[in-house]
Chain A
Amino acid sequence: MAAKTAMKEPKRSSALVRRETFASYCFLLPSLIFFLGFVIYPMILCVVTSFFDSTMNRADIFVGMANYKTLFADPIFLGALKNTFVIVIVSVPITCIFSLWVSSAIVDLPEWATSLFRCVFYLPVVTGSVAVTVVWKWMYNNYYGIFNYLGKSLGILDKNINWLGDERFALGCIILILLTTSVGQPIVLYVSALGNVDQSIVEAAEVDGANDFQCFWKIKWPAIMPTTLYILVITTINSFQCFALIQLLTSGGPNHKTDTIMYYIYYTAFKQYKYGYGNAMGVVLAVIIAILSAVQFKMGNKDN
């Protein structure tokens, strides 16, 4: 966009470039201190330590790739990797589709109704993940939780289900909470994006006999594409970061079936004191995420 014109200017003198570089770094300095100091520098330490056997109160021992070798033979790590991806793969599309569906249904309502719905769906976000989790923990309770109570009084369940204690349900339960805390922002975004779609084109299409589905697919969908991409990126980041839910609800259990990489790093570091091993895990995850975000970013650029 605007940056393009700036870049296409004729070559400037090297003195000018030097001066501009200096000025630029003056502007960048405050941000760089934090970015390099608290993101990049720890990341480098993380990579370095991942080659060491590092534990509490003992000098690190260089072990080369041993941590990585153990890692890919560790069934719990592989399980955690799988769970992390299950969470991302399930929650990202559902979040996007659900919020798009809700938004398109509420966007044409009277102003007050739109804003009421938008507010309600945004509530779990502002309530805070810990407060929300505490209530969900009660709702899932094996003995007096509301799901079992409702299930039994409606005759759906004949026996209490231990939602968080049963391997079959635990991960699903966590994803459900994650969904309720992550659709708020996409709904706000989609309502705004759909509101900005040029109504005259939509009306013209309707006059031409296009049905609602065609209208949506041919006109609205392309118009909200940038929003969708943004939502995809934000939701993916969010889903990867899912930690509080697991730490507060299941601690990775039962039987490591709800471990994610984030939780397992915490677990190896502070319950098993295997710092080098935890760091190796972090590096693997960082590489995966960096590749993913580079791909996403490239795709985004292509579409533009």
Chain B
Amino acid sequence: MSATAAKKQKPLKRHPSKLKKMSAYTILAIILISIMAVLFAFPLYWIITGSFKTGAAINATTPEWWPSQWVLTNYQKLFAGKRAPLWQLAVPFGSKFSANGEPVYFSVGPMAPAAIRWMINTVFMAVMSMILTCLTAAMAGYALAKKRFVGRKLLFTLIVCAMALPKQVILIPLLREMSALNLYNTIWAVIFPIVGWPFGVFLMKQFSEGIPTEMLEAARIDGASEARTFVKIVLPMVKPGIGALAIFTFINSWNDYFMQLIMLSSTSNLTISLGIAKLQAENSTDFGLIMAGAALAAVPIIIIFLIFQKYFTKGIAMGAVKG
């Protein structure tokens, strides 16, 4: 259904005749919306220009709308800061195996500025959450939609109730649990709760319901194993759903701040959001440096967004059709 909806969209969408008879209201609305749009784009504009301003210009009481002098000092300062190995992966539950009970780290790469490391941590966190969520949710969603089993209704009820649950509610127990599992201050402590959030399962269940039962029956009669059926029939059919969920999870985990704040503590383990917050707390005197950090956080994902804009918007919209 979703696939057909996407196809239908094109021919139906624009009617040239519509454009001619733009009413006064429409023109007024467009003007208003344009003003709003400027307001919405302003923070980003200010981050990017601010990151190139001198200290005096950025602290000026009369705002300097366009940098009178472009400098790179803020970025130099950002990259001259603390250093960390370019890439370091905490092996989950590693301390359970290591001889001295210390966490096991797998480090690669030269020492790099911490800000770069934060970026890498964030990308890893978002991508890992995305992959794990999509994988587990696709499997679970299929089972919930297409299988009859004991406890199905109950599980679904649990999922719906837990979906709206803010993570802050379980903050203290979760912290203790992560500590007991020796996951505190590793990126996994942020990833696992994201994967556990049942929205993905809910979404994939809605998508999986669109799979014709006859196809599954046919596969079963042909003697295909459960795993084979899932890979060969189910996965291709819920692909658009996985795409939607992937985008949704990626953006959500990228923007998640709370879990990171609670679970991560060492400078080299921070994410970029936390890193900026830390920069702000440490250097409230140096707004230019903070802007440089914010620009570093914002620009890559915006570029990704602009390149994949079509997929993003389609993906997001598709989630709604099924949700």
Contacts and interface: CB of A to CB of B under 8 A. Distances in A.
Contact, chains A and B (beta carbon distance below 8 A): yes
Interface in A67-93: none
Given A241-B166, A293-B161, A3 B145 contact: yes
A40 to B, nearest CB: 7
A248 B213 CA distance: 50
A288 B178 CA distance: 26
A299 interface: no
Nearest to A189: B320
A40 B158 contact: yes
A135 B193 contact: no
A21 B61 CA distance: 68
Q: How large is the interface on B (under 10, 10 to 19, 20 to 34, 35 or more residues)?
A: 35 or more
A217 B163 CA distance: 31
Interface string A211-241: 0100000000000001100110110110011
A97 interface: no
A129 to B, nearest CB: 5
Contacts, number: 323
Given A46-B169, A240-B166, A231 B40 contact: no
B50, B60, B273 — which one has the most chain A CB atoms within 10 A of its CB?
Answer: B273
Interface of A: 1-3, 5-7, 12, 17, 20-21, 23-28, 30-32, 34-35, 37-43, 45-46, 49, 101-102, 105-106, 108-111, 115, 117-132, 134-136, 138-139, 143-144, 146, 149, 180, 185, 188-189, 191-193, 195-196, 198-199, 212, 226-227, 230-231, 233-234, 236-237, 240-241, 243-244, 247-248, 261-262, 265-266, 269, 275, 278-279, 282-283, 285-286, 289-290, 292-294, 297
19 contacts: A1-B210, A23-B147, A39-B162, A106-B33, A122-B305, A125-B255, A128-B254, A128-B301, A129-B257, A131-B276, A135-B43, A149-B61, A189-B320, A192-B320, A241-B168, A262-B169, A275-B172, A282-B171, A293-B161
Interface of B: 5, 8-9, 12-15, 18-19, 23, 26, 29-30, 33, 36-37, 39-44, 46-47, 50, 59-63, 132, 135-137, 139-140, 142-150, 152, 155, 158-174, 176-177, 192-193, 195-198, 201, 209-213, 226, 230, 251, 254-255, 257-258, 261, 272-274, 276-277, 280, 287, 290-291, 294-295, 297-298, 301-302, 305-306, 309, 312-314, 316-317, 319-321, 323
